[in-house]
A and B are shown apart, each in its own frame.
Chain A
Amino acid sequence: MEVFDIFLLEAVVNGILLGGLLALLSLGLNLIFGVIDVVWICYAEVIMIGMYAVYALHVQLGWPLVAAMAAGVAMVAAFGALMHQFVIRPVLSAEPINQLLVTGGMLFFLQAAATLAFGIEFKNLGVKLPPIALGEMSFSLPRIIAFVVALAGVAATYLFLTRSYLGTAIRAISQDRQIMPLMGVDANRIFVVTSALGGALAGLGACLLVLQYDIHPAIGLSFGPITFLICVLGGLGNMLGGLVAAFIFAQFISVGGFFFHIEWGYVIAFAFFIVVMFWRPQGILGGK
Chain B
Amino acid sequence: MLAVRNLSAGYGSFQALFGVSLEVNAGESVAVIGPNGAGKSTLLRAISKLIELKDGEVTMEGRSLKGVPAHEVIAHGISQVPENRRLFARLTVEENLKMGAFLPAARAKYHQRLAFVYSLFPRLQERRAQLAGTLSGGEQQMCAIGRALMSGPKLLLLDEPSAGLAPVIVQSIFELVRRICHEGYTVLIVEQNIRQVLKVVDRAYLLETGRIKTSGAAAELLASDAIRRTYLGL
Name A residues whose Cβ lies closer than 8 Å to a Cβ of B.
Answer: 165, 168-169, 171-172, 175-176, 178-187, 288
Which of chain A's residues has its CB closest to B86's CB? A179
Measured CA separation A182–B79 after assembly (Å) = 7
Apart from A171-B91, A172-B95: 11 A-B pairs, beta carbons within 8 A:
A165-B107, A168-B98, A168-B99, A171-B88, A172-B91, A175-B88, A181-B74, A184-B71, A184-B74, A185-B71, A186-B69
Q: Which residues of A contact B99 (CB under 8 A)?
A: 168-169, 172, 183, 185
Which of chain A's residues has its CB closest to B72's CB? A184
- B49, B79, B102: the one within 8 Å of A185 (CB): B102
User: Contacts A165-B102, A169-B102, A175-B89: A181 and B95 contacting too (C-beta < 8 A)?
Assistant: no
List 19 A–B pairs whose Cβ atoms lie within 8 Å, in order of A's numbering.
A165-B98, A165-B107, A169-B102, A171-B88, A172-B88, A181-B48, A181-B49, A181-B74, A182-B70, A182-B79, A183-B71, A183-B74, A183-B100, A183-B102, A183-B147, A185-B99, A185-B102, A187-B71, A288-B90
Measured CA separation A185–B71 after assembly (Å) = 5
Measured CA separation A187–B80 after assembly (Å) = 17
Most buried by A among B75, B90, B102: B102
Which of chain A's residues has its CB closest to B101's CB? A165
Which of chain A's residues has its CB closest to B94's CB? A168
Q: Which residues of B contact A171 (CB under 8 A)?
A: 88, 90-91, 95
Q: Which residues of A contact B69 (CB under 8 A)?
A: 181, 186
How near does chain A come to B145, taking the closest CB pair, in angstroms?
A: 13
When A and B form their complex, which 3 residue pairs have the shortest distance between CB atoms, in order from nearest?
A181-B70, A184-B74, A181-B71
Measured CA separation A173–B229 after assembly (Å) = 45
Q: Is the CB of B90 within 8 A of A175?
A: yes
Most buried by B among A179, A180, A182, A288: A182
Measured CA separation A165–B106 after assembly (Å) = 11
Q: Is the CB of B82 within 8 A of A182?
A: yes
At the interface, is chain A mostly helix, strand, loop or mixed?
helix
Q: Which residues of A contact B50 (CB under 8 A)?
A: 178, 181-182
Most buried by A among B49, B70, B79, B89: B70
Q: Is the CB of A184 within 8 A of B98?
A: no
Contact residues of B between 192 and 219, Cβ < 8 Å to A: none
How near does chain B come to A63, taking the closest CB pair, in angstroms?
A: 36
Q: Is the CB of B98 within 8 A of A182?
A: no
Q: Is the CB of A176 within 8 A of B88?
A: yes
Q: Which residues of B contact A180 (CB under 8 A)?
A: 71
Q: Which residues of B contact A184 (CB under 8 A)?
A: 71-72, 74-75, 102-103, 106, 151
Measured CA separation A168–B100 after assembly (Å) = 11
Contact residues of B between 103 and 145, Cβ < 8 Å to A: 103, 106-107
Q: Which residues of A contact B91 (CB under 8 A)?
A: 168, 171-172, 175
Q: Which residues of B contact A169 (CB under 8 A)?
A: 99, 102
Q: Which residues of B contact A178 (CB under 8 A)?
A: 50
Q: Is the CB of A182 within 8 A of B103?
A: no
Q: Which residues of A contact B74 (CB under 8 A)?
A: 181-184
Q: Is the CB of B86 within 8 A of A186?
A: no
Q: Which residues of B contact A186 (CB under 8 A)?
A: 69, 71
Measured CA separation A183–B106 after assembly (Å) = 11
* B169 interface residue per 8 A CB criterion: no
How near does chain B come to A163, taking the closest CB pair, in angstroms?
A: 10
Measured CA separation A175–B101 after assembly (Å) = 18
Measured CA separation A88–B48 after assembly (Å) = 27
Measured CA separation A76–B32 after assembly (Å) = 51
Which of chain A's residues has its CB closest to B105's CB? A184
* B73 interface residue per 8 A CB criterion: yes
Which of chain B's residues has its CB closest to A189's CB? B71
Measured CA separation A183–B70 after assembly (Å) = 10
Measured CA separation A187–B69 after assembly (Å) = 11
Contact residues of B between 210 and 233, Cβ < 8 Å to A: none
Q: Which residues of A contact B73 (CB under 8 A)?
A: 181
How near does chain B come to A233, taking the closest CB pair, in angstroms?
A: 21
Which of chain A's residues has its CB closest to B85's CB? A179
Q: Which residues of B contact A288 (CB under 8 A)?
A: 90
Q: Which residues of B contact A165 (CB under 8 A)?
A: 98, 101-102, 107
Contact residues of B between 44 and 70, Cβ < 8 Å to A: 48-50, 69-70
Measured CA separation A180–B103 after assembly (Å) = 12
Contact residues of B between 150 and 192, Cβ < 8 Å to A: 151
Measured CA separation A83–B103 after assembly (Å) = 27
Q: Which residues of A contact B101 (CB under 8 A)?
A: 165
Which of chain A's residues has its CB closest to B87's CB? A176
How near does chain A come to B44, taking the closest CB pair, in angstroms?
A: 10
Q: Is the CB of B107 within 8 A of A182?
A: no
Measured CA separation A288–B75 after assembly (Å) = 33
